[in-house]
């Protein structure tokens, strides 16, 4: 039993990190809703944060259970379902982030094609996630379909990266840093998509990817109380 526990220590460490992340996300969402005081941007940040944590919980909770209690067919099934759900909610996260940006920067112009491309790429990504060929419920998944469904996701992320670069430091909010966080999250995410099945250690990149999302939420929290946030 002791040897088995020691062999699972990296998984347990990851599980503790995931628990801390989910608790942080829930607390942050509550703060957004309580302190919004009629601000559309802050309310949207609350919805966005709840969507992020809720979607991630679908695949993180099975990972937490696996770390502490071991694997089982039931845990594998829930893990597969969780990956599918979180793939969809993460896509919606970026669509909603576009509207958060619009609420914060109503006077900053942007190419209309960015909004169209964000919606189209997100819709294609969600549609691809629905195909059975993804093999969500099989341990090996489908690496080729992992690439297919994540190519439009990369386009969605690129659109938001450009958007936050366009607004720069408008209002003194420093939200150009959101672009940096998005780039970091994708830079950590794609190696996992490409190689984690063959090299499980690559999966540890999901931790800095998650940290990048925590940073995004913290940027939202820093906006609370700013008089110019509509």
pLDDT digits (tens, 9 = 90+) for 176-226: 999 999 999 999 999 988 887 788 788 888 899 999 999 999 999 999 988
Give the predicted TM-score (pTM) of the model.
0.92
By C-alpha distance, which of 102, 163, 95 is closest to 126?
95
**134-173: per-residue pLDDT in tens?**
999 988 889 899 999 999 999 999 999 999 999 999 999 9
Whether residue 230 is contained in a domain is answered as: no
Helix (H, G, I), strand (E, B) or coil at 137: coil
Classify residue 30: in a domain, yes or no: yes
Domain tally, the chain: 1
Q: How far apart are CA 84 and CA 90, in angstroms?
A: 10
Q: What is the CATH number of the domain that holds 79?
A: 1.20.1070.10
- Percent of the chain whose pLDDT exceeds 70: 96
pLDDT band at 3 (very low <50, low <70, confident <90, very high): very low
For residue 183, the enclosing domain spans: 2-221
Question: Does residue 64 lie in a domain region?
Answer: yes
Rounded CA separation 189/183 (Å): 10
Domain assignment present for 33: yes
| Burial (CB count <10 Å: 0-12, 13-18, 19+), residue 117 | middle
**Domain assignment of residue 226, yes or no:** no
């Amino acid at each position: 039993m002791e040897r088995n526990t020691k062999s699972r220590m990296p998984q347990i460490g990851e599980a503790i990190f995931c628990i801390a992340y989910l608790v942080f996300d829930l607390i942050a969402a509550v703060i957004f809703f309580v302190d919004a005081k009629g601000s559309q941007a802050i309310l949207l940040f609350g919805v966005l944060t709840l969507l992020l944590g809720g979607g991630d919980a679908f695949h993180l909770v099975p990972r937490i259970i696996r770390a502490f209690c071991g694997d089982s067919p039931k845990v594998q099934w829930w893990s597969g379902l969780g990956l599918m759900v979180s793939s969809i909610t993460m896509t919606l996260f970026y669509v909603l982030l576009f509207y958060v940006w619009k609420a914060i920067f109503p006077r900053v112009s942007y190419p209309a094609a960015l909004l169209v491309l964000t919606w189209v790429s997100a819709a294609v990504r969600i549609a691809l996630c629905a195909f059975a060929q993804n093999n969500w419920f099989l341990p090996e998944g489908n690496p080729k379909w992992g690439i297919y469904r994540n190519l439009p996701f990369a386009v969605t992320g690129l659109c938001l990266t450009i958007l936050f670069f366009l607004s720069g430091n408008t209002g003194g909010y420093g939200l150009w840093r959101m672009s940096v966080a998005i780039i970091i999250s994708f830079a950590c995410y794609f190696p996992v998509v490409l190689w984690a099945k063959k090299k499980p250690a690559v999966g540890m990149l999901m931790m800095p990817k998650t940290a990048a999302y925590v940073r995004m939420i913290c940027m939202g929290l820093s906006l609370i109380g700013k008089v110019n946030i509509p």
